[in-house]
Amino acid sequence: MQIQRTPQGFVLYKENTPVGHCQCHQQGEGWHLEWLEIDPAWQNRGYGSFFLKKILAQTGGFQPESIHTASGVQSPAAVALLQKFQFRLEGSLWRRVRQREFTPVNMTHLFLQSRLKPGGVYLDATCGNGYDTEFLCRLAQPEGRVLALDIQPQAVDATNARLKRLGLDAIGRAIQADHQHLEQLVQEPLDCAMFNLGYLPGADHSLFTQASSTQKALAAAITLLRAGGILSVCLYSGGVNGFEEKQAILTWLRQLPISQYTVVECGFSNWAEHAPLPCFVIKK
């Protein structure tokens, strides 16, 4: 079976014979399905599920965020098909909405995205597998610059490979370095410095950031921030990390002078005590 895109939507072929049709179009930030039909001779064989799944895949329906609607649905089989793929009836319209899970890392990205502008100088002080570095590169855009650090060579390699694959290597690069020596590595004012503490996902979990070196790095980072610049730090605790680093950094953050910095802690009230804790420091 194969699917062919048409000006009206999609056609499902079985051995060069069209057996399914779907009329759909982009609507706002999502897609609207006006009509989906499987030829009666081919019904009750799973082709409807296959067809709709492929349509959703080709229109971003399995991305972290997507919106799909459908109308003109009447038959019980069509209703069951939409329900199978998480469409919900709202009035006369069927809606399928996928929203990115709200996590501490996503919260950090949303906050920074709301305040940072293209063309900035950004630092990812704990690049890990490169997701935050990618985020900063997309914010910086071609006129900006991003430097990423990590003490583990596999993290540096993974980050640089990711940036190259995504065509972002002209904006950002990762180098192997201990972030506690930050003042020796960065010689210009920063618009943002990100710290996502803990261990490298997928690597040796016995290697994780430590309070003493992290505090040195954070102190250097806020010194390098320009007025209006932001330091973000996501604190982790429990498990192999323990609580020492989290408590030490919180104590340090809370003692920063209010005349120079605004410090924000974003706790999750009904999560466990060891849940990740996003914090922000805005330099005045």
Query: Minimum mean pLDDT among 4-8, 86-90, 242-246, 276-280: which range?
Result: 242-246
pLDDT of residue 242: 63
Model pLDDT, residue 204: 46
CA atoms within 13 A on the CB side of 255: 8
Residue matched to tokens 């610059």: 145
Mean pLDDT value across the chain: 89
Give me the DSSP letters along 124-190. ESS-TTSHHHHHHHHHH-TTSEEEEEESSHHHHHHHHHHHHHTT-TTTEEEEE--GGGHHHH--S-E
Q: What is the pLDDT of residue 205?
A: 46
Phi, psi angle pair for 211, to nearest 5°:
-60, -45
- Lowest-pLDDT choice from 20-29, 98-107, 169-178: 98-107
What pLDDT, in 10s, does the model give residues 155-187? Answer: 899 999 999 999 999 999 999 998 888 888 898
Q: How many CA atoms lie within 13 A of 101 on its CB side?
A: 3
| Residues 6 or more apart in contact with residue 18 via CB below 8 angstroms | 11, 12, 39
**Whole-angstrom Cα distance, residue 151 to residue 179?**
8
